[in-house]
């Protein structure tokens, strides 16, 4: 994976059509006419002002303005990048609502990507929740009304038979990292259809900011196959196809065409499946993971970040992984994905697969998942359907199963009640309680509730960030089990090694690497993950671990560098302005 930076030793072959002296993107607009006068295409130098990857705005120097014919097209005062950052941050903070800040940041990204990514990187704790969870959920709900400029590709059900043509319309050659959704299960918000485009855009922004994947190579895609949310069929601001979802063979054939088109048009691309419905997500992962380098972050990324948090929590409790008993609220792709990776880790710790599975229990909408419950269980639940009498509620299940770890992935808010948390604290000296549902409005409990109801004994993590809690004279900083700790590094490692497959072994390596980066000081203040401002280092270490697995298992398509970590590090995108003079 080469950087686009012209100063980099790893420049892609012909990444853009460029003029030799300045490396400037040339426009392809044909001459038009209006009122009898010709409309001339934008001169290639002026195109710098409209390409967000190349635009420097008020930072263009005097020499650049003269050389590129930009004098007069910009205000006369020159603002270097550092001054632009100061002004931009001040403008952002003047916004009072999170959704207003999201819109401001999207507009900045569409105007000047170097400035956008530099701002994100220098203020990660503040800005990541604005460009991704929890704010991205609200942004997706209102995506039709806040839509200003196309970013990424929309491939609709009406494009069947011509998906290759649609992919070739993407103006940047050689996409290497694609995040795709069909919008059926956006966070905990349900079927938002084409409004789900905010998710791929947000995820890819995090790839660039947190792992240094150059934005030139990223491509967000929404497969608009319709929506089963009836209100969207008559919503005048809805931007997608106002029909019911494709299902069955028609849907499968569209996905098949899409995957084959990606392989042909972008042969080096890594594909990340994002926010598909439960049944669809498992089906697509199993069908395509060996046919195209791909993974599902909702299943595998969530599993890795949860396992890393569990390993960190065990350093607090002093207990062994093999002795844990996990109870999940929610038996969808996130929960069973976590259980699957826990089984792999427990096997490495000495348990048999049957023993490890026996330590994972699930509660779904019908109660405890058991063998003889009387209903037909989905395929992904069957390995965790154990012999036990039926149990109707989560509160009863906690008393019956006596778990050491309680994990919420249900998108059902306030389901970890005072009674449940108190029971967990009575059963365990240091209960591990993870409320992982996103966005914040869907969290099973808050950090303050977990600490208060457990008497300060809970080891807590959540999917969305909660503020620190003062309890008993102690300031506790809750951990955030955000997938941003995992997927950017996994993607970077897979791209750097050009892995032909993204395996479960890579996610296990990512989880153990992340857990090893949590310091004793982090644990002492309540965190089971490192601070978010260390995410670039985290992603580099995870990428190195993932690439190591790719090379060790023969899945890498490139020669192994002498120093793998340094090779990856030098390829990471750094948001600095190019010199055009």
DSSP per-residue letters across 147-204? --S--SEEEEGGGTT-HHHHHHT-SSS---EEEEE-SSS-TTS---GGGGGHHHHHHH
Find where tokens 């490139």 sit. Answer: 558
Distance CA 388, CA 373 (A): 9
Q: Give residue 47's pLDDT band: very low, low, confident or very high (50, 70, 90).
A: confident
Q: What is the pLDDT of residues 87-101, one digit of tens each?
A: 999 999 999 999 999
Q: How many CB atoms lie within 10 A of CB 154?
A: 17
Domains and CATH numbers, the chain: 103-292 (3.40.50.10380), 300-482 (3.40.50.720), 485-571 (3.40.50.10380)
Q: Which of 540, 552, 539 lies closest to 503 in space, CA to CA?
A: 552
Q: Is the peptide bond before 439 cis (omega within 30 degrees of 0)?
A: yes
Lowest-confidence segment of 31-40, 256-265, 439-448, 554-563 by average pLDDT: 31-40
pTM of the model: 0.90
Contact 577, 59 (CB under 8 A): yes
- Among 41-45, 266-270, 431-435, 479-483, which stretch is predicted with the lowest mean pLDDT? 41-45
Identify the bridge partners of residue 154 per DSSP, sorted by sequence position: 222
Per-residue pLDDT band for 24 (boundaries 50, 70, 90) equals very low
* Contact status, residue 95 vs residue 136, Cβ threshold 8 Å: no
Convert the pLDDT of each residue in 514-560 to its tens digit.
Answer: 999 999 999 999 999 999 999 999 999 999 999 999 999 999 999 99
CB atoms near residue 152 (< 10 Å)? 18
How many CB atoms are located within 10 Å of the residue 161 CB? 10
pLDDT of residue 440: 86
Alpha carbons 211 and 217: distance in angstroms, whole number: 13
- What is the rounded distance in angstroms from the CA atom of residue 449 to the CA atom of residue 472? 14
What residues act catalytically? Answer: 132, 203
Inform me whether the pLDDT recorded for 463 exceeds 80.
yes
Strands, DSSP E only, in 351-495?
360-364, 367-368, 405-408, 432-435, 459-462, 469-471, 474-476, 479-480
What is the phi/psi pair of residue 161, to 5°? 95, -10
Position with higher pLDDT, 17 vs 522: 522
């Amino acid at each position: 994976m080469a950087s686009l930076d012209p100063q980099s030793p790893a420049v892609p072959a012909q990444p853009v059509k460029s003029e030799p002296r300045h490396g400037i993107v040339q426009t392809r607009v044909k001459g038009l006419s209006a009122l009898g006068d010709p409309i001339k295409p934008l001169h290639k130098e002026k195109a710098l002002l409209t390409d967000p990857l190349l635009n420097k705005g008020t930072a263009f120097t005097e020499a650049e303005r003269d050389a590129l014919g930009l004098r007069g097209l910009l205000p006369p005062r020159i603002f270097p990048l550092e001054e632009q950052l100061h002004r931009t941050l001040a403008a952002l903070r003047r916004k009072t609502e999170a959704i207003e800040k999201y819109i401001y940041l999207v507009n900045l990204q569409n105007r000047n990507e170097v400035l956008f990514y530099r701002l994100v990187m220098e203020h990660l704790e503040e800005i990541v929740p604005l460009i991704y969870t929890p704010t991205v959920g609200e942004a997706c709900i209102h995506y039709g009304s806040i839509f200003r400029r196309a970013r990424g590709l929309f491939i609709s059900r009406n494009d069947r038979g011509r998906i290759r043509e649609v992919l070739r319309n993407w103006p940047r050659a050689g996409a290497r990292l694609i995040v795709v959704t069909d919008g059926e299960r956006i966070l905990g918000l349900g079927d938002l259809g084409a409004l789900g485009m905010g998710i791929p855009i947000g995820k890819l922004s995090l790839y660039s900011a947190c792992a240094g994947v150059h934005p030139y190579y990223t491509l967000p895609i929404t497969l608009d196959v319709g929506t089963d949310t009836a209100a969207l069929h008559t919503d005048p601001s809805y931007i997608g196809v106002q029909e019911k979802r494709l299902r069955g063979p028609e849907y499968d054939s569209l996905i098949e065409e899409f995957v084959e088109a990606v392989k042909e048009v972008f042969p080096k691309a890594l594909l990340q499946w994002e926010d598909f419905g439960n049944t669809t997500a498992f089906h697509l992962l199993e069908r395509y993971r060996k046919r195209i380098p791909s993974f599902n972050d909702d299943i595998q990324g969530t599993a890795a970040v949860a396992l890393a948090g569990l390993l960190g929590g065990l350093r607090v409790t002093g207990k062994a992984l093999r002795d844990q008993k996990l109870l999940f609220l929610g038996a969808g792709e996130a929960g069973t994905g976590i259980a699957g990776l826990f089984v792999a880790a427990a096997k490495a710790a000495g348990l048999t697969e049957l023993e490890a599975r026996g330590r994972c229990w699930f509660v779904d909408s019908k109660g405890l998942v058991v063998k003889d419950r009387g209903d037909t269980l989905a395929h992904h639940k069957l390995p965790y359907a154990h012999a036990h009498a039926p149990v109707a509620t989560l509160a009863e299940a906690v008393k019956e199963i006596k778990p050491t770890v309680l994990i919420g992935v249900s998108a059902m808010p306030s389901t970890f009640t005072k009674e449940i948390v108190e029971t967990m604290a009575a059963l365990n000296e240091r209960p591990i309680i993870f409320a992982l549902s996103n966005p914040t409005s869907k969290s099973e409990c808050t950090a303050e509730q977990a600490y208060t109801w457990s008497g300060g004994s809970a080891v807590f993590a959540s999917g969305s960030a909660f503020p620190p809690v003062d309890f008993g004279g102690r300031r506790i900083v809750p951990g955030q089990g955000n997938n941003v700790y995992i997927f950017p590094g996994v993607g970077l490692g897979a791209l750097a090694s050009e892995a032909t497959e993204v395996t479960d072994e890579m996610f296990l390596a990512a989880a153990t690497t992340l857990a090893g980066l949590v310091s004793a000081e982090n644990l002492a203040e309540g965190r089971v993950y490192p601070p978010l401002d260390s995410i670039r280092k985290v992603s580099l270490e995870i990428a190195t671990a993932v690439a190591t697995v790719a090379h060790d298992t023969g899945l890498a398509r490139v020669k192994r560098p002498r120093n793998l970590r340094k090779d990856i590090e030098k390829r990471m995108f750094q948001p600095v302005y190019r010199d055009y003079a």
